[in-house]
Amino acid sequence: MLNSQPMRSSLQVAPLSIQKTRSGQCDDGSESTATDYYSQADMTPPTTPNGSGTHDEDVLERPPSPGPVFHNYLRAFYPFQPSYAMTDSTVTLPLNEGEVILVHSIHTNGWADGTLLVSGDRGWLPTNYCEAYDPEEMRNLLKALLNFWDLMRSTSVNDTDIFGNQEFMKGLIAGVRYLLDHTDCLTRESPLVQRNDAIRRSRKSLLSELSALVKTAKRLQEAQKLIDADEEINKIVDEMILKAFKIVTKGVKFLDNMNEERKARMPAIAMMTTVMEEVPPTPPAESVSFAPEQMEAGDAGSRCKENRGGPEPAPSDTSEGTQESAGVNKGLSGAYQYQPQPASSTNARRLSQNAPSQGNRLSSTISHRVSLVGPSPLSRRQNLVSERLNACHDIFLSHLGSFIGRLHVQSQSRPQLALAIKQSASSGGELLVVIDVVCAQNSLGIEALIHSRCAMYDHLRNLMRTARDVLLTSGPEMEDVIVPQDNGRLLGAATSCVKATGECVAKTKWVIERIGDFEFEGNCNGDMATFDLDLSALDAIQEVRERSMSNAAESASIAGSSVSETPTASTSVSVTPSAISRHKPALSIDKPLPQVPQTTSPVTEQSAEASHSPQTSRRQSLVDDNASSMVSSVASLRPSLPPLPRISTAIPLEDDYAPTGQSAGHESVEYQSFRAESMTASSSGSASTYLSRDSESSLVSQTSTRATTPDHAPRNQPSLCELSVAESAAVSTIGGVAESTTHDEVEDVESQLLERTYAHELMFNKEGQVTGGSLAALVERLTTHESTPDAMFVSTFYLTFRLFCTPVKLAEALIDRFDYVGEAPHVAAPVRLRAYNVFKGWLETHWREDSDHEALPLIKQFAEFKLGSILPTAGKRLLDLADKVSSNDGTLVPRLLSSMGKTNTSASQFLPSDIPLPPPVVPKSHANALNNWKSGGSSPSILDFDPLEVSRQLTIKQMTLFCSIMPEELLGSKWTKMGGIRAPNVKAMSAFTTGLSNLVADSILQFDEVKKRAHVIKHWIKIGHQCSQLHNYDALMAITCALTDTSIKRLKMTWDAVSPKRKEQLKSLQAIVDFNQNYKVLRARLQDRVPPCLPFLGMFLTDLTFVDVGNPATKTSDTGLIVINFDKHTRTAKSIGELQRFQIPYRLTELPDFQEWLAAQIERVREKDKAGVNTQATHYRKSLLLEPREVQALRTPVEPVSAVTTPVGNGMFGWMRGGSVSQPAQV
Amino acid sequence: MLRTMPRYGYQPCREFHVVVLGAGGVGKSCLTAQFVHQEWIENYDPTIEDSYRTQLTVDGRQVMLEILDTAGADQFVAMRDLYMKTGQGFLLVFSITSRASLEELVSLRDDIIRIKDDENIPIVIVGNKADLTDQRAVDRARAFAISQQWNAPYYESSARTRSNVDEVFIDLCRQMLRREDYVDDSRENDPYYHKADDPSSSKRRRRRKNRDNKEHKCVVL
């Protein structure tokens, strides 16, 4: 496999496949084509070297039907010199042998709009001078360049999210690494590098190019900090693009050298290669490969023949023939100019059953690279099929969305519903049209596409049917209103429709990506009209739809846009050829020919066309009309010149084209156009188009996320990752761009390439937070060398790691990280230090002896041998810690609450300590009552204390409990399991709150007299009010719950004795802690509440429970890897962090005596609870005794008085237990 | 406001409060999460306002459910009263793998009936974790007996496999709807009737209600 086969194969196949691409049609297979190609040698230009001897191999190497693939890169194998004068609208670039081109689009006539990597010039290039370039070793790098290019062009330079860090550089670096890795040249010491001087040199220049780019990227970051640096930034960005190109150029060179070397070492192959090289490299002529099909083709074929027959058919229009400078056979070239087009069109007709209907045919003349970049309005990109697809999908989804939304709204008037469904239907139809066009365009992967298309179609039809049923069945008596009877069905139908559509669109995108984007000029407006029947005809429409759709679906071929196209559009294959071919020649003419080995001058062609048949121009103008959005300048250009001048269209202001390409070298001009294009692109690119290249993102979710930044483009916070910067520390020189890189820098980049990384196993959300990842990737994130890791990430990790891995696993992962970073010497030191710090932090503050001790031996061993040998002091320190931790229960360094909560913003905002404590409100009577109680006297009642002071003391007590809650207790719903033994503080807190509630009820129910009870109620309301003033919502919850408890609430007489004002006050207090709408009020209050504040714990507990059960433990990454759902843990940590934010004591004076009394009271109440009594039921019974049912009859509850004076033992009412509490009610 | 509407005519979306009750560890929160969780929401955030609100169609009628689930905060016993008072329908969830969890329902039901002061309050009994058949500790006969005794339908569900999750809520909705209709009907001629929600009306309702017309149901996986 070390031979050059991959390369050769691409060499051989390239021209053919390019042609196929150009024609936009599928091919029978390369073999037959190639054969025919040769057999027709007399009619075609001399065979190209590529095709000849190696033909068989070619077939062997390639699958029989490779399918037309859009090649992103081409490589010239023959020099090309445009010798004609440039028109202002045409930029044709010269090509040197071996140059690599980044292709933006390919016109059917064989010209490609591409950028020369060597110079950065963009212009038209003859594809028949080129071969596809995609050697396996380079693949990643090439792909990375594409992404880089798209990113640089599409993103506004001020986007600090993107450029604030170096993440965007990663792909290129990884690409280079891949190249070196797969050529066994990763290290300088590799024998290959040592031995072969050429390889060594090219490797070095590749690396220095890379480090230059990295440096430039640094400069970009710097420049962004400047205030008014747009210009500067633009310059840098352009520079970076060029540099990136250079990297690839160097990479190509390197690989060439490598292949030389391989050749040299493998004589057999070398021979073959040389044979190849001996043949004079004549680029293949365009039409050649199509010749066979032309012959077969019916009248179209003969037509072509006619053209061909007269080699110099119309000297008049082939004026180029005369102009051809090189002395190559003019006749041939002249002839060929016309052939490609008709041939390909015929070909298209015949080969693909599913030819696009006429409306779309034109579109296939250019195929574009699917780009991340949004359309540039001037280049008429909106007609690209990928954009069309996205747009239609968007529209369809939004219509369906509003339809679904309507279903959720209670009032659905029939017209509204019908309208919504009609819109959905028509937009769905449009989408289908687009998909059909894509299907028709190519047979690549068509089965899968057809399958999902049919599925989508079925769902859509189902929706229509359902809708029709619903609309029809609702009787006339309710003319304007639809019974929501069938909502469920509609909803289901709509939802599955969304899903099916998503799948189908994704598949279509995949196909487009493979075959290249092309322009879409389907007559969609017409289609829509078909659907646009008025409401009453809705069902009729549907039938129409169904018919046409099923036609389409059933004729296994997609029958093109038939769905919505007029019936004629879906005509059978046979009908069309003649009609089409009629136009086609014209078409082909209007797009100039590719060039035969010698140069053809587009200019002349142009004039030729201009003078050409009226048909052409008519056709053109038609097209133009269709494309209403086309900028006029483009429009005017288009008819006349074939050669796609669109390049310079990118410069928005220029009406016609600056002769940019003329002199290959002006980088400045070129820059300008880059810039200009990127500007327009970024301004016009909608989020949805942004998605286009690689978004496999979950289709369903697109519904909601489309409008926003795509999820899959992680933008990392600057702080998080400067990941791949050339370890910025080393390359810190910011100054001169310096083409000349020092040896050090090269080395630096080199070492960077050596890094092993799990970064690809991380998942991010659009805020740049980690949402998932494998353990190794998370650990890597934790120990990233470039910057301090995100605090939230670190604290989440420490807090929750036991939920997704074992302590042993974590230790292993850290040790592994410690080991493998050794491969990257320049970062080894910081990373190892961080790994050590992670261990240290774990042992010091996050150690849980009970669960973590099993990892201790591992850690000790690591500290002693691995760490100790590299960082002796650190090793020793870690050993010490390990020893301490095992002897000491609990954490070594008590976690400061404030530091624990540091993930949150303002933990430190509690009252400064110099503010004096508020003086306690303790009238003499209070103290006396307490003293009396302490010395054995009767217990004071709550009425003896001032409400403010009661609330303060309650708050102190509760806050103490609250502050002692450890974050561990809140993980994994621990407090609900095993009776909460592993969450003692949570339990204590909730027990106290419940006890308080019971105390409230008890204190009310202990009085027989209505007045006294009312008094106690009033008192508690006052206390509650004070609690709310103190922002003690836990106590407030307890008190209001108690006061509204059934047993209290039902004491009608008592409540009658409470003033309306108090009752109102209670109501407003209740509203604060109302749990309706998920504690809406309380949440709002807590949101920007500055501590001190005591939130209601139960709310957090419920949140945490639902985070725990509502989110799966793992998720699947884009690459299909199952990774830890870190998002779940982040949510958990966030919730806990929010709770911790409030773990700050109040500055209040504690009254020990009162606390004692309070504790005793709570304890007293709790005693009863412990006895297994249902306290609530007890209270209720007591309440019944105090104010029996149907009280109206009895004015005063005389009877129970004696029974209730003392706290009631449960035995008395024991008979009531056993589930018949409600019994008395029925008496 | 809604009583003037003909039964099958246009009716506004009803809003019901459903309370999910059960011992800890029976997976009731899973049940709620599964039911509320729209499958296209990738990450469930329980802290937003309508985390527990969901709309569904029952027998062609729109129902908005607000689900009250004390999951995680069950220790705050004092709140239960308030929850129950708010609820118009109750899911009593136990785990078929725990007999004790079924026993706990007894007192919960007693509380409900006491607090709602209504013996016919809509209730559905749910035996969760039905997928753990090998750990079954409560046989169906037992659950069925209780179902009959309480005159409340019994379902066996599995939040994990998402079986019978929607069904239990829909059944409960049906009960609540039917009950509302019943009230509507019986109030049709009562000019003083105001709102079904009024606690005082429930008392009267309780007495009027005829148990016999309530259908009985047992659904088993």
What are the domain boundaries of chain B? 14-179, 181-215
- Using a CB-CB cut-off of 8 Å, the residues of chain B touching A1127 are 43
Q: Are A23 and A348 in contact (CB under 8 A)?
A: yes
CA pair distance A126, A1144, nearest whole angstrom: 73
Contact B71 A1078 (CB under 8 A): no
Across the interface, which of A481, A1101, A1106 has its CB nearest the CB of B44? A1106
CA pair distance A686, A666, nearest whole angstrom: 31
Range of A663-667, A1097-1101, B161-165 with top mean pLDDT? A1097-1101
CA pair distance A65, B5, nearest whole angstrom: 68
Q: Which has the higher per-residue pLDDT, A927 or A1042?
A: A1042
- Using a CB-CB cut-off of 8 Å, the residues of chain B touching A1221 are 110-111, 113-114
- Using a CB-CB cut-off of 8 Å, the residues of chain B touching A704 are 40
- Using a CB-CB cut-off of 8 Å, the residues of chain A touching B61 are 484
The structure tokens listed for A244 are: 């990136």
Give B109's pLDDT tier (boundaries 50, 70, 90).
Answer: very high
pLDDT computed for residue A638 by the predictor: 36
pLDDT tens digits for range A848-881: 888 888 898 899 889 888 888 888 888 888 888 8
B162 dihedral zone (left: phi>0; alpha: psi -120 to 50; beta): left
User: What mean pLDDT comes out for the span A932-960?
Assistant: 88
User: What mean pLDDT comes out for the span B12-24?
Assistant: 86
CA pair distance A560, A551, nearest whole angstrom: 10
pLDDT computed for residue A178 by the predictor: 78
Residue A987 contacts B, CB cutoff 8 Å: yes
The strand pairing partners of A125, in sequence order, are A112
Mapping DSSP to helix (H, G, I), strand (E, B) and coil, where does residue A69 land? Answer: coil
CA pair distance B94, B156, nearest whole angstrom: 10
- Using a CB-CB cut-off of 8 Å, the residues of chain A touching B76 are 990, 993-994, 1037, 1041, 1098
Q: In Å, how far from its chain's centre is CA A847?
A: 36
Cα–Cα nearest to A516, from A131, A69, A103: A69
Distant-in-sequence, close-in-space partners of A1005: CB < 8 Å, separation ≥ 6: A1013, A1047, A1048, A1179, A1182, A1183, A1186, A1204
Contact A1045 B81 (CB under 8 A): yes
Which positions 699-738 of A are in contact with B (Cβ < 8 Å)? 700-701, 703-704
First-to-last C-alpha distance (Å) of chain A: 94
Q: In Å, how far from its chain's centre is CA B95?
A: 16
pLDDT at A271 over 80: no
First-to-last C-alpha distance (Å) of chain B: 40
CA pair distance A440, A421, nearest whole angstrom: 28
pLDDT at A951 over 90: yes
- As to burial, measured by CB atoms within 10 angstroms (0-12 exposed, 13-18 middle, 19+ buried), residue A197 is exposed
CA pair distance A757, A509, nearest whole angstrom: 30
Which positions 1077-1096 of A are in contact with B (Cβ < 8 Å)? 1077-1078, 1080, 1083
pLDDT computed for residue A932 by the predictor: 83
Q: Which has the higher per-residue pLDDT, A484 or A175?
A: A175
Give A441's pLDDT tier (boundaries 50, 70, 90).
Answer: low
Distant-in-sequence, close-in-space partners of A62: CB < 8 Å, separation ≥ 6: A9, A13, A30
Radius of gyration of chain B (CA): 17
Which positions 998-1057 of A are in contact with B (Cβ < 8 Å)? 998, 1037-1038, 1041-1042, 1044-1046
Give A370's pLDDT tier (boundaries 50, 70, 90).
Answer: low
Domain B14-179: which CATH class? Answer: alpha beta
Q: Are A748 and A805 in contact (CB under 8 A)?
A: no
CA pair distance A1022, A459, nearest whole angstrom: 62
pTM score of the predicted model: 0.53
Instruction: Tell me the one-letter amino acid at A122.
Output: R
The answer to which of A356-370, A380-394, A937-951, A958-972 has the lowest mean pLDDT is: A356-370
Q: Are A37 and A287 in contact (CB under 8 A)?
A: no
Residue A412 contacts B, CB cutoff 8 Å: no
Contact A411 B47 (CB under 8 A): no
pLDDT at A550 over 50: no
User: What mean pLDDT comes out for the span A436-464?
Assistant: 74
**Residue in B closest to A1129 by C-alpha:** B43
- Using a CB-CB cut-off of 8 Å, the residues of chain B touching A706 are none
Distant-in-sequence, close-in-space partners of A337: CB < 8 Å, separation ≥ 6: A318, A320, A588, A589, A592, A593, A600, A605
Contact B40 A700 (CB under 8 A): yes
- Residue given tokens 């020893």 in the structure block: A883
CA pair distance A553, A429, nearest whole angstrom: 13
**A299 half-sphere exposure, CB direction, 13 A CA radius:** 11
CA pair distance A1147, A1127, nearest whole angstrom: 36
Q: Give the Å distances, CA to CA, from A1114 to A519, A972, A1127.
A: 41, 15, 10
A973 dihedral zone (left: phi>0; alpha: psi -120 to 50; beta): left
pLDDT computed for residue B90 by the predictor: 94
Work out whether the CA dihedral B2, B3, B4, B5 comes out positive or negative. positive
In angstroms, what separates the C-alpha of A958 from chain B's closest C-alpha? 14
User: What mean pLDDT comes out for the span A414-433?
Assistant: 78
Q: Are A1222 and B115 in contact (CB under 8 A)?
A: no
The structure tokens listed for A1170 are: 């412990």
pLDDT at A624 over 60: no
- Using a CB-CB cut-off of 8 Å, the residues of chain B touching A1128 are 43
In angstroms, what separates the C-alpha of B221 from chain A's closest C-alpha? 23
pLDDT at A1067 over 90: yes
Cα–Cα nearest to A1182, from A1221, A1141, A1140, A1125: A1221
CA pair distance A579, A581, nearest whole angstrom: 6
pLDDT computed for residue A927 by the predictor: 80
Q: Are B128 and B26 in contact (CB under 8 A)?
A: yes
Q: Give the Å distances, CA to CA, from A622 to A357, A561, A638.
A: 16, 19, 12
Cα–Cα nearest to A1027, from A1083, A1098, A1096, A1100: A1096
Suggest the residue from B30, B42, B85 to mutate for an interface test with chain A (most A CBs closer than 10 A): B42
CA pair distance A328, A78, nearest whole angstrom: 15
Q: Go through chain A and tell me how many residues it has.
A: 1227
CA pair distance A474, A24, nearest whole angstrom: 49
Cα–Cα nearest to B87, from B52, B56, B62, B61: B52
The answer to which of A104-108, A351-355, B40-44 has the lowest mean pLDDT is: A351-355
Mapping DSSP to helix (H, G, I), strand (E, B) and coil, where does residue A793 land? Answer: helix
Q: Strand pairing of A1114-1116 and B53-58?
A: unpaired
Helices (H) and strands (E) in chain A, counts: 55, 11
Q: What share of chain A is helix, strand, coil (3-state, %, to 5)?
A: 65, 5, 30
Q: Which has the higher per-residue pLDDT, A931 or A1198?
A: A931
Q: Which helix (H) or strand (E) holds A125?
A: strand A122-126
User: What mean pLDDT comes out for the span A196-200?
Assistant: 82
Q: Which helix (H) or strand (E) holds A249?
A: helix A230-265
pLDDT at A1108 over 80: yes
- Using a CB-CB cut-off of 8 Å, the residues of chain B touching A485 are 59-60
Which positions 1165-1224 of A are in contact with B (Cβ < 8 Å)? 1174-1177, 1180, 1219-1222
The structure tokens listed for A800 are: 């929750």
In angstroms, what separates the C-alpha of B24 from chain A's closest C-alpha? 6
CA pair distance A810, A800, nearest whole angstrom: 12
Q: Which has the higher per-residue pLDDT, A429 or A473?
A: A429
pLDDT computed for residue A753 by the predictor: 60
pLDDT at A909 over 90: no
pLDDT computed for residue A81 by the predictor: 74
pLDDT computed for residue A1054 by the predictor: 92
Q: In Å, how far from its chain's centre is CA A698?
A: 9
pLDDT computed for residue A68 by the predictor: 55
DSSP secondary structure of A141-196: HHHHHHHHHHHHHHS-TT-HHHHTSSGGGHHHHHHHHHHHHTTT-SSTTSHHHHH-
DSSP secondary structure of A467-490: HHHHHHHS-TTSTTB--GGGHHHH
Give A623's pLDDT tier (boundaries 50, 70, 90).
Answer: very low
Give A747's pLDDT tier (boundaries 50, 70, 90).
Answer: low
The strand pairing partners of A1123, in sequence order, are A1115
Contact A975 B62 (CB under 8 A): no
The structure tokens listed for A776 are: 């190794």
What HEC string does A371-434 produce? CCCCCCHHHCHHHEHHHHHHHHHHHHHHHHHHHHHHHHCCCCEHHHHHHHHHHHHHHHHHHHHH
